[in-house]
Structure 1
Amino acid sequence: MLRISLLLLGKRHGAKWCLKNIINNMLMPIIESEDTPMKRKMFCVQMLGALLKPFPADMKLHLEIIVSQLHDILQQNPPDAFKEAIFSSLMYISHHNENRLQRALIAWQPKQISPEFQLRFRDYVRGRPLHVWAKILTRMTM
């Protein structure tokens, strides 16, 4: 219920308002806080992708900053469940920096993934034809 409420609120007030009031003032402080329980952080990270997906092209700089922050968190080697939340969010907004996401996904070697993430990942992979993935993988191994 909270997820839908935040999405509707962000959509209703627009991208700039959403960035300022929901993302920068609510979600990012929770994500960056050391004292926040992991489940809350995971919820906030997953919300980022859904909120940022409809952002217009003229706000690309703001999106890139958040994407970089998420990739920085990945570099800190958080638990796999938290990495799942980050990758889920990044898949929502993959059209903003797809190469970086694909490299990180291919490098990630989790012990186990949740069924929900497995479905999301499958849909992400199936969203591109096989020959496109062949090109991507060839480019990455070079």
Structure 2
Amino acid sequence: IFAASSTVCVVISSGSKTTKFSISAFRAGITMETLSGLVKTTLPNYLSGLPIPNTFGGWFRLGFKDWLSLVPPTAALGGLVYMSYLAFCPEARPKPSTKVNRTIRPAEAKVVDMIDIEDIGEKAAFCRCWKSKNWPYCDGSHGAHNKECQDNLGPVVVQRKKN
């Protein structure tokens, strides 16, 4: 075994034949051997040992330990079917919340604010994104929302008419 730069190499020589390979290739070989053994030997042996009856009536004669041994493969199969269902059926995916206002008086059926025109002064910017900490006035919170969602949301600006 020797190290050349950052790669560890293994040299095996037997008689006149010398074999060189890197540790990463060696590890990949072990992983494939393990996976191959799992698929070709371990899994079939496990499945053949499960108490699957030959007749429909045999299901009613299974004991508690038999049913208990069927739980892991059934759960794994159910999980695989569910994940496939979510992946291939767009209607099955959870819908994102369409609620816009999550912070400003969420217990009220409708949020309404009355503002006297005299209190506004020359100009006022009102929030439309529901993220302002200074509700109902805009505090610029829509800027972060626009960056995150690539949206173009902005405030409603009310100002006095200039004569």
TM class, shorter-chain normalised? under 0.3
Choose between structure 1 and 2: higher helix proportion: 1
State the TM-score, normalizing by the size of structure 1.
0.24
Q: TM-score, normalised by structure 2?
A: 0.21
Which has the greater radius of gyration? 2
Q: Which has the higher contact order (CA 8 A, sep 6+)?
A: 1
